[in-house]
């Protein structure tokens, strides 16, 4: 289990253009308050990192600001945790004004209690991870003040963006909205393209999509229009600052009439990934009865297997890549929408 999590961490590092030169594990009953791992292990990492000429040491678990500081002293390299890495990927990927504002807010909130000399200006310099600041305490205090101001500013901006999103949503009330959600790399954008013929970015890389994208599409030949919404992927231990600042993007899912929970059924870890996405969906207030579970990448699974997760949770098999099963999925969506209307009448 821990090994698989480390593999995902390596995947995240690669998504952020960081090359992985070594990995190590430590098993212990409880984390050390000061250094997370044991001091001896930290010293061992210091030697290995030096030997491998690493610039950066990444931990799969969240570290407290104090732990980062102590570890950096021992390892003598920049130390970051999983949350910082995910934030960095988001920073690199954010394109629209909304996504950039959300990401910067999340990163600054994360950074504020962690601002040390090494972290200074991390997000603002080209090169991102690995950049070291070298200024003194005075500069640090000034940076903290600047960061606090910036956070206030970003929050105001975001409030404005959220208001205009609300207005847009009201304007779409005539059409039903179908949101695609799920673990990162599950194939949401591929399915979105298949359902709408839109050209959303598809990449075999974590977090290819950050901005939610809306496109009209139709569920049958008579052409009754619906709106599909492609959204940011979820991942195990998504930093809570990100969930908080992506609230307005995630609201596209919360307000959707039907949510397609896309699962990469060909992954060895599909169950865990599905559970992680279930948790996020629950957290943002999506009721189970609005969710259609979609088993994607059927072309990579031998003999498909049962069309359900459990007795009370059916699933639709599709291959977003080949288009297999997509008509069944459309019928399922239609049925859900009709069910909705009946329930409302």
Binding residues vs Mg ion (CB under 5 A):
188-189, 208-209
Assess 95 for contact with ligand GTP (CB under 6 A).
Answer: no
Report the residue number, 123 or 273, with the smaller CB distance to Mg ion.
273
- For the chain, the distance separating the N- and C-terminal CA atoms, rounded to the nearest angstrom, is 48
Q: Select 284 or 321, whichever has its Cβ closest to ligand GTP.
A: 321
User: What part of residues 209-238 is at the interface with ligand GTP (CB under 6 A)?
Assistant: 209, 233
Among the candidate windows 40-48, 276-284, 296-304, 329-337, which touches ligand GTP by CB under 6 A?
A: 296-304
> What per-residue string of b and e applies to 290-319 under the rule 16 or more CB within 10 Å gives b?
bbbbbbbbbeebeeeeeeebeeeeebbbbb
Is residue 204 within the footprint of ligand GTP (CB under 6 A)? yes
Of 30-38, 185-193, 211-219, 308-316, which segment contacts ligand GTP by CB under 6 A?
Answer: 185-193
> Exactly one of 67, 108, 176, 189 binds ligand GTP (CB under 6 A); which one?
189
Which DSSP string do the residues of 152-200 spell out, in sequence order?
HHHHHHHHHHHHHHHHHHHHTTTSEEEEEEEBTTSSHHHHHHHHH----
Residues within window 3-32 making contact with ligand GTP, judged by CB under 6 A: none
Q: What minimum distance in Å lies between the beta carbon of 97 and Mg ion?
A: 19
Given the complex with Mg ion, which of 92 and 116 has the nearer CB atom?
92
Q: Establish if 202 lies at the interface with ligand GTP (CB under 6 A).
A: yes
- How far apart are CB 186 and ligand GTP at their closest, in Å? 4
Residue 196 near residue 213 (C-beta atoms within 8 A): no
DSSP codes joined into one string, 80-114: EEHHHHHHHHHHHH--SHHHHHHHHHHHHHHHGGG
Taking CB under 6 A as the criterion, the residue among 100, 261, 297, 330 binding ligand GTP is 297
Q: Which of 48-56, 58-66, 203-211, 216-224 is the region at the interface with ligand GTP (rule: CB under 6 A)?
A: 203-211
Residue with smaller CB distance to ligand GTP, 248 or 319: 319
Nearer to Mg ion, 208 or 242 (CB): 208
Report how far residue 65's alpha carbon sits from residue 118's, in angstroms, rounded to the nearest whole number: 12
Query: Binding partner of residue 186 among Mg ion, ligand GTP, none, CB under 5 to 8 Å per kind?
Result: ligand GTP
Angle, helices 188-196 vs 326-344, to 10°: value is 80
* Nearest partner of 216 among 195, 246, 237, judged by Cα: 195
Residue from 79, 150, 85, 138 nearest 112 by CA: 150
263 binds, options ligand GTP, Mg ion, none, Cβ within 5 to 8 A by partner type: none
Smallest gap from residue 270 Cβ to ligand GTP (A) = 13
- The set of residues, in sequence order, having a beta carbon less than 8 Å from that of 73 and lying 6+ positions away, is none
Q: How far apart are alpha carbons 49 and 340 in whole angstroms?
A: 57
Q: Residues with Cβ < 8 Å from 180, sequence gap 6 or more?
A: 188, 189, 191, 192, 228, 229, 230, 231, 259, 260, 262
| Residue count of the chain | 345
Among 28, 149, 300, 341, binds ligand GTP (CB under 6 A): 300
Which segments of 209-269 does DSSP mark as H helices, in order? Answer: 240-245, 247-254
Nearest residue to ligand GTP on Cβ basis? 233
Q: Which of 49, 60, 178, 187 binds ligand GTP (CB under 6 A)?
A: 187
Give me the least distance between CB of 213 and Mg ion, in Å please.
Answer: 9
Q: H or E element: which one contains 56?
A: strand 56-59
Query: Which stretches of the chain bind ligand GTP, using CB under 6 A?
Result: 184-190, 202-204, 206-209, 233, 296-297, 299-300, 319-321
């Amino acid at each position: 289990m821990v090994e698989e999590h480390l593999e995902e961490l390596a995947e995240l590092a690669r998504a952020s253009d960081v090359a992985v030169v070594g990995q190590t594990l430590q098993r212990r009953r409880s984390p050390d308050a000061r250094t997370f791992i044991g001091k001896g292990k930290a010293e061992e990492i210091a030697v290995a990192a030096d030997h491998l000429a690493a610039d950066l040491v990444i931990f799969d678990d969240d570290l407290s600001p104090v732990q980062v500081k102590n570890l950096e002293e021992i390892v003598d390299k920049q130390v970051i945790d999983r949350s910082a890495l995910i934030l960095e990927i988001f920073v690199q990927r954010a394109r629209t004004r909304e996504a950039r504002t959300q990401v910067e807010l999340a990163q600054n909130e994360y950074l504020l209690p962690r601002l040390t000399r090494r972290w200074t200006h991390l997000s603002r310099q080209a090169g991102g991870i690995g950049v070291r600041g070298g200024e003194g305490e005075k500069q640090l205090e000034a940076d903290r003040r600047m960061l606090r101001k910036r956070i206030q500013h970003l929050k105001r901006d975001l409030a404005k963006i959220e208001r205009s999103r609300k207005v847009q949503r009201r304007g779409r009330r005539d059409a039903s909205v179908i949101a695609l959600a799920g673990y990162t790399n599950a194939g949401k954008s591929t399915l979105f393209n298949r359902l709408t013929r839109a050209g959303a970015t598809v990449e075999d890389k974590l977090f290819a999509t950050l901005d939610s994208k809306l496109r009209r599409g139709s569920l049958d030949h008579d052409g009754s229009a619906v709106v599909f919404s492609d959204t940011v992927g979820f991942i195990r231990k998504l930093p809570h600052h990100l969930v908080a600042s992506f609230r307005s993007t995630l609201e596209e899912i919360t307000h959707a009439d039907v949510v397609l929970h896309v699962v990469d059924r060909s992954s060895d870890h599909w169950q865990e990934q599905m559970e992680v996405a279930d948790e996020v969906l629950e957290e943002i207030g999506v009721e189970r009865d609005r969710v259609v579970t979609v088993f994607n990448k059927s072309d990579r699974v031998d003999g498909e297997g049962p069309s359900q997760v459990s007795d009370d949770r059916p699933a639709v098999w599709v291959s977003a890549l080949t288009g297999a099963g997509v008509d069944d999925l459309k019928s399922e969506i239609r049925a859900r929408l009709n069910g909705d209307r009946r329930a409302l009448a």
